[in-house]
Chain A
Amino acid sequence: MSTAAAGHHDHDDHGPAKGWTRWLYTTNHKDIGTLYLLFSLVMFFIGGGMALIIRAELFQPGLQLVDPLFFNSMTTMHALVMIFGVVMPAFVGLANWMIPMMIGGPDMALPRLNNWSFWIMPFAFLLLLSTLFMEGGGPAGGWTLYAPLSLQGGDSFAFVIFSIHFMGISSVMGSINIVATIFNMRAPGMTLMQMPLFVWTWLITAYLLIAVIPVLAGAVTMLLTDRFFGTSFFNAAGGGDPVMYQHIFWFFGHPEVYILILPAFGIISSIIPTFARKPLFGYASMVYATGSIAFLSFIVWAHHMFTVGMPLAGEMFFMFATMMISVPTGVKVFNWIATMWRGSMTFETPMLFAIGFLVMFTIGGLSGLMLAITPADIQYHDTYFVVAHFHYVLVPGAIYSIMAATYYWLPKWTGNMYDEKWGKIHFWVSTVFLNVLFFPMHFVGLAGMPRRIPDYSLQFADWNAVASIGAFGFGFSQLIFVYVIFKCIKGGEKATSEVWEGADGLEWTVPSPAPYHTFEKPPAQFS
């Protein structure tokens, strides 16, 4: 005991506990970050498997494989898993790993809350996925759970709502933690306008989450009581209003869209300057643009509902407000390009993914601008054109930013360089298949193919076959990602502290791999 007590004086050597309890009881931001990221990777393959079931059924016209009801529950679950189980946990994982190191703080501000907010997630998803094996099957009314359709499902619906509450609690606790960390744990002297953009975008994202997750919780609780306790919030026959559900849902749902992309903006703003060897262009305007996007996200929700029969004035307002979003988003894209301009660029895997993000997110942004035009949107609405649009902003947008971040910081996390050759192969194979998968969806959507249908008319057959080939190619090429990650964890060329020649920021001042505890003594350069 006495030697252990003596050892306690030297906190720098205090490493992780041994065995599996390390992961269960951990309050260390790096361990929890790792847990989030691995959870997200597992869910990525579960959600991807569902997408492949969808694409296998759509490979040719006619119903070959699944019942339409199961098909609907696949589209519903695919979205819920990808949004709540992949993109959000991955961003929280990155925030856990990087925010304390980027601001020179020793850990997250609320470490036990941090442990709890992670460990809720596996149980939430166990509940959600278990509904697929219950009588009546999983939720099949679309991830938006529109009433009254969602109320027709089996009793397993209660589990779905319970799991959404769990996910919400986890997100809100994670967000509170991030806000507390950013405001309280910064190195002495570091002002808000000196924070890396990833920290800024997460700060704004955390506020969005705290604002809108309770709205979702309220909406699904009303569904719960409508379904099981005889209320009529959304039942027209009982004096309720089915359209009100959509307003409430999208008041959550549209900020949610930006929750899924703002941290990506932060990641890209870290990576492009590093590989252009030039500071980020227009730092302040990037911060203001992020703030503007967050504000606008609260006043555009009804552009998801242009066909529900709103008054003309409402449609006008939401059209103009939606178009406005392209201004701050455009500023961001222009700033990134200005950062690249007259830099000294190299194209390692993180930079490839960042450029892939920039190109394809812009394509998704431009189709978003088309969707903002209400008269045209009435034709686009609920067709594959919309499916193409949001997959272009979510897959090469959010998912690519997460992959870019993984390659970018993996040497810092593991102390080893990843396999550059296989990283580049991963990028190119993914990018080719991704476009084969999603680009044809623009065509079939414009030509009249509605979304969420398990079977279609013959004129859509060719492009659907092409998209399905792309889907299987993209899905299986993600195994390369897993291979590169695990190869890097096991060993490889040792990484330096700085890792990248042009890297700038506090996380690159600590050794690689980052010690279990960093910045127990705050860095001095800001004071």
Chain B
Amino acid sequence: MSLISRVSVAAMLLVSMAACTGNNMPVGVTPISKEVYGLHMMIFWICCVIGAAVFAVMFYSMFKHRKSKGAVAADFHESTLVEIIWTAAPLVILVAMAIPAAKTLIAMEDTSDADVTIKVTGYQWKWQYEYLDSGISFFSALDAEHNAARQVGAGIDLTKFGDNYLKEVDNPLVVPVGKKIRFLHTSADVIHSWWVPDLAVKKDAIPGFINENWAFIEEEGTYRGKCTELCGRDHGFMPVVVEAVSEEKYNAWVAENTPAAMVAESDAATATAGAAEASADDDREWGMDELMAKGETVYNQACAACHQANGQGLPGAFPAIAGSAIATGDVDAHINIVYAGKPGSAMAAFAGQLDNAEMASVLTYQRNAFGNTVGDTIQPSAIKALR
């Protein structure tokens, strides 16, 4: 095989590897994502043409004008005309690129007339979704199995998760297709960024700010993304999963999940029953074993990322729970730091993230695990009294 044919075979291999799906920006499922993909490919090809032209001239010169081939250096070193041409020509290309780019940008920023509004709040390291129209609100964090597999040295076979490793959550965001969905982005702690490539939606979630964004999804399906702004230790582990369903399915889902207080009067009876059930859980006396069992689950979801599964923390960054003065000391101080957080540190306020039973059980767990032996229990009713 000649050198040229070998090089061309290698080049074709590379191009075909690169061209197969998964190596380029997804086209996506919204009108905006398709426009963005079109822009991306347009600039890409313009850049390829410019690059090819520049390199062709350069390599021609390198082969022709070399001393070993007897080339004698010319003496020209200035030409105002040429300088003007190669300043003006790129300007024309830039204007040609700028016009469609500006059009798409204007469309992207138009969040008016939305059908559904969802508030997305970033937490270290999970998302909270609040449907402002129906009052549905829940947290969405990395799926527990994936979370176990991604621990240092876990040694779990990742192939069983397929391509969705680290892209699976406990509670996905459910949205309707064929509707304009407006997202409001904010954060409870540090800056995050909510990104779903298939929707071409990426917006920073910034504490103290509310950013807007929108998507009009045309096809049903599950669309996955990630946090894209470094947000601390577990930045790589807060995926976004969006389930786009038909309008009927969406309405059914909303009806099923709308909290009791928001349900119209006709459903008053069931609503009262549901509320009574939750209230009963808060008011009854819980046993130690029950609190510890629930507490361990909650701890691994809400606390272990920083304080570690063994309660030892990471010295200097995250304090240990084992033997900690707070977790073995005054119960009110302990409740307070978990309930209200510690300003100026990574310790978040969990009042809005955990319900009464969850918070009571995790507090009890912290006081009686990892070698801590305080021996007391904290009842959900005590947390309820705080609210």
8 Å CB contact of A457 from B39, B164, B195, B211: B164
Judge whether A378 and B200 touch: CB under 8 Å.
yes
Does A214 sit within 8 A of B, measured CB to CB?
Answer: no
| Those of B283-326 within 8 Å (CB) of chain A | 314-317
Judge whether A242 and B82 touch: CB under 8 Å.
no
Does B77 sit within 8 A of A, measured CB to CB?
Answer: yes
Does A283 sit within 8 A of B, measured CB to CB?
Answer: yes
Assembled-state Cα–Cα distance A307/B108 (Å): 12
* Chain B neighbourhood of A383, CB < 8 A: 228
Does A362 sit within 8 A of B, measured CB to CB?
Answer: yes
Judge whether B193 and A307 touch: CB under 8 Å.
yes
Does A366 sit within 8 A of B, measured CB to CB?
Answer: yes
Judge whether A340 and B58 touch: CB under 8 Å.
yes
Judge whether B91 and A327 touch: CB under 8 Å.
yes
Does A191 sit within 8 A of B, measured CB to CB?
Answer: no
* Chain B neighbourhood of A49, CB < 8 A: none
Judge whether A68 and B344 touch: CB under 8 Å.
no
Judge whether B226 and A342 touch: CB under 8 Å.
no
* Chain A neighbourhood of B234, CB < 8 A: 68
8 Å CB contact of A326 from B23, B94, B101, B206: B94
* Chain B neighbourhood of A111, CB < 8 A: none
| B-binding segment of A145-153, A195-203, A475-483 | A145-153
| Those of A330-360 within 8 Å (CB) of chain B | 330-331, 333-334, 337-347, 355, 358-359
Task: Give the interface residue-count category, chain A.
Answer: 35 or more
Given contacts A319-B105, A346-B66, contact A446 B25 (CB under 8 A): yes
Does A279 sit within 8 A of B, measured CB to CB?
Answer: yes
Judge whether A450 and B150 touch: CB under 8 Å.
no
B284 CB to closest chain A CB (Å) equals 36
8 Å CB contact of B158 from A281, A340, A342, A458: A458
* Chain A neighbourhood of B24, CB < 8 A: 443, 446-447
Judge whether B208 and A152 touch: CB under 8 Å.
no
Given contacts A316-B105, A340-B61, A344-B73, contact A369 B47 (CB under 8 A): yes
Which residue of chain B lies nearest to A275 when distances are taken between CB atoms in the complex? B67
Please indicate which of the listed interface residues B189, B207, B212 has the most CB atoms of chain A within 10 Å of its own CB.
B207
Does B276 sit within 8 A of A, measured CB to CB?
Answer: no
8 Å CB contact of B108 from A323, A331, A378: A378
Assembled-state Cα–Cα distance A463/B23 (Å): 9
Given contacts A376-B36, A450-B227, A455-B236, contact A323 B97 (CB under 8 A): yes
Does A403 sit within 8 A of B, measured CB to CB?
Answer: no
* Chain B neighbourhood of A458, CB < 8 A: 158-159, 161-163, 165
8 Å CB contact of B314 from A67, A363, A379: A67
B179 CB to closest chain A CB (Å) equals 22
Judge whether B108 and A281 touch: CB under 8 Å.
no
| A-binding segment of B48-56, B331-339, B374-382 | B48-56
* Chain A neighbourhood of B32, CB < 8 A: 375
Judge whether A146 and B153 touch: CB under 8 Å.
no
Does A415 sit within 8 A of B, measured CB to CB?
Answer: no
Chain B proximity mask over A270-290: 1 for CB below 8 Å, otherwise 0 = 000000111111111100000
Given contacts A243-B206, A285-B83, A452-B230, contact A323 B94 (CB under 8 A): yes
Judge whether A345 and B98 touch: CB under 8 Å.
no
| Those of B25-71 within 8 Å (CB) of chain A | 25-26, 32, 35-36, 39-40, 43-44, 47, 50-51, 54-55, 57-58, 61-62, 65-68, 71
Please indicate which of the listed interface residues A315, A327, A340, A345 has the most CB atoms of chain B within 10 Å of its own CB.
A345
Judge whether A343 and B65 touch: CB under 8 Å.
yes
Binding site for A on B (CB under 8 A): 18, 22-26, 32, 35-36, 39-40, 43-44, 47, 50-51, 54-55, 57-58, 61-62, 65-68, 71-79, 82-83, 86-87, 90-91, 94, 97-98, 101-102, 104-106, 108-109, 149-156, 158-159, 161-167, 185, 189-191, 193, 195, 197, 200, 202-204, 206-209, 211-212, 225-237, 314-317, 343-346
9 A-B residue pairs with CB within 8 Å: A68-B235, A137-B316, A308-B204, A324-B94, A342-B61, A342-B76, A343-B65, A443-B22, A452-B236
